[in-house]
A = this chain, B = another copy of it.
C-alpha cells in the first residue's frame, strides 16, 4: 500500500474542520491511509508574520461568509464559535497522547473536538473542555487531565510542530501526497486529481 497522506491541521481552523470530514474518504478512494497531524498555527505565524484569518481586515469578513457557504456546499453543519480564535494546545496534546497507542481513537477524538468547536460552536480551548470531549468517547477523565500536563506529550507536540514548519506547512488544512504540498479546502480537488494521476 502506498504511503499515507499527511493531513496537517489546527484545531482552531474552521477550514481544517471542513477538510477533516472528507479527507479519510478521499484517501480511501485511492488506497491511501491518512496520517492526521494537528499542529499550531500560532507557531507558524511567528515564522510567516501572518495573523489569524478572521482578524485580517476585509479578508476576515469574506471568510465569515465563505465558511458557512462552503460548509453548505459540502453538506456539513457549521457554527462559528463565539470565542475565536482560540487556543488549541490542549486539544493537540490530547491527540498526541493517544495517537501512538491507538491512531483510530486519536482520529475519533480529533473529529469529536472539531465537531464540538465548529458544528456546535462550543469551546474546546481549555483543558476541562478537552477532557469532557474525551470522556464522552469513553476515555478516563483523570488520565486525560494528567496527559495534558505530561512533559513527554508537551515535547512530542513541540517536535511535531517544528517538523511541520520545517516541511513548509503554513496554513490549515495542509496536505502532502508523498512530498507534494497542497494548501486549503479549495485544493482538495487537486489532491484528488494528484492521487488519480500521480501528478501532472
- Which residues of A does B touch, CB under 8 Å? 44, 47-51, 56-59, 61-62, 65-66, 69-70, 72-73, 165, 168-171, 181, 183-184, 186-187, 189-190, 193, 200
Contacts and interface: CB of A to CB of B under 8 A. Distances in A.
A166 B44 CA distance: 31
Given A73-B193, A186-B187, A200-B72, A57 B62 contact: no
B48 A59 contact: yes
9 contacts: A47-B58, A57-B170, A58-B168, A58-B169, A59-B170, A65-B181, A66-B183, A69-B200, A72-B200
A66 B183 CA distance: 9
A52 to B, nearest CB: 12
Contacts of A184: 186
A34 B130 CA distance: 49
List 10 tightest A-B contacts by C-beta distance, closest first.
A186-B186, A58-B170, A48-B57, A59-B170, A48-B58, A72-B200, A47-B57, A58-B168, A48-B56, A73-B200
B50 A170 contact: no
Contacts of A193: 73
B73 A165 contact: no
A189 to B, nearest CB: 7
Given A49-B57, A50-B59, A62-B183, 15 more contacts: A47-B57, A48-B56, A48-B58, A49-B51, A49-B56, A58-B165, A58-B170, A62-B168, A62-B181, A65-B181, A73-B190, A73-B200, A184-B186, A186-B186, A186-B187
Contacts of A58: 44, 47-48, 165, 168-170
A20 to B, nearest CB: 19
A51 B48 CA distance: 11
Nearest to A199: B69
B62 A170 contact: yes
Contacts of A73: 190, 193, 200
